[in-house]
Chain A
């Protein structure tokens, strides 16, 4: 049984089983997200999709819509909290955008633009995370991982290889490659895998194509992520 809820004061219809985020998108309303991807079940880890329902914060990518809900999303308060989450992601890794091949095509960066993030505000951690260039076709730059587990899910559930995993907890959480050596070259990972194209940021990068697209023609150069995400259904 579907129904209607109010999204920032506007009525949004939904069908039974749809999440707030899915129904809002179907009605043309963008909600920021990082760990959510339309091809995968909700993961609920990044919290960029938080909205306020009845005074409580919920993950809109995971919470099923219910009739009569009042949902606040695009408000200064919620956007401020989303911005703080982004700022924490930026200081936790090493995000030097000018030297990143993903720049201009990166969801983290594009969301920072969308949410008016002009600085990372907190003190930077500058963690030491060596890159893995062992694979002939794909480079892993762990410095930029935001732990969305999209690669973990894609490799396990679509490619049926289980190449990636997250390990450690809290501040020690990090992405690992499932091989005794820990090197991507020692797995059966292939550039044609779904996991090779799923990373929203600049960790899993195809070799020999970096910076091929000139500035001005990259994904988020012309239009902001709130527009691109809706047009391309991402």
Chain B
């Protein structure tokens, strides 16, 4: 890693697909090391910047799996633009909590939640054209695009994300070992 003088900063984009933003919270959970990170990285598309589309980047961090058509588009945009794409957290890696619907019929799920659930009187499955089309199954991101690295955890700790990013930016092969490698 180096200071900013004369050195272009590493450009990083982040997004949450079918995730809960827990992984982004973990990214912020690096505490004062965020300031150190801010010296060497600059953010492109990310919930932290509100930039709407991803431009050419060095690193893309993806939280969440792929549960709808919009997720597919965003993920492909990231893959096209990011030299290194990283799956962050359980949902991006194996579908996580949203994928717990994968053995159920999607139509039945929607009926159960929006029509048949106790207490619902005039229910109906939302069908606003603005809503992205749901996929029949939630997919880990590596089933849709090529993924370079995986940071497991639900969410991964700020410590794990820090170790990973500093390795990657410092030109070392990132490796998370016990106890930073965690699935829960």
Spot the interface stretch: B39-47, B53-61, B75-83, B94-102. B94-102
Mostly, the A contact residues are: loop
Contact B99 A98 (CB under 8 A): no
Question: What per-residue 1/0 map shows which CB atoms of A85-118 lie under 8 Å from chain B?
Answer: 0000010001111111001100001001110101
User: A221 contacts the other chain (Cβ, under 8 Å)?
Assistant: yes
Spot the interface stretch: A39-47, A120-128, A183-191. A120-128
Chain B residues in 8 Å Cβ range of A94:
100, 103
Complex Cα distance, B93 from A116, in Å, reads: 15
Nearest Cβ on chain B to A124's Cβ, whole angstroms: 6
- Pick the contact of B140: A99, A104, A124, A224 (CB < 8 A): A124
User: B184 contacts the other chain (Cβ, under 8 Å)?
Assistant: yes
Complex Cα distance, B100 from A129, in Å, reads: 12
Complex Cα distance, B100 from A94, in Å, reads: 9
Interface residues on A, range: 20 to 34
A contacts, CB < 8 Å to B:
90, 94-100, 103-104, 109, 112-114, 116, 118-121, 123-124, 126-129, 215, 221-222, 224
Known: A90-B94, A96-B96, A116-B177. 9 other contacts (CB 8 A): A94-B103, A95-B94, A97-B184, A98-B183, A113-B181, A118-B149, A118-B176, A124-B102, A127-B103
B contacts, CB < 8 Å to A:
87, 90, 93-97, 99-100, 102-103, 137, 140, 142-143, 147, 149-152, 154, 175-179, 181-184
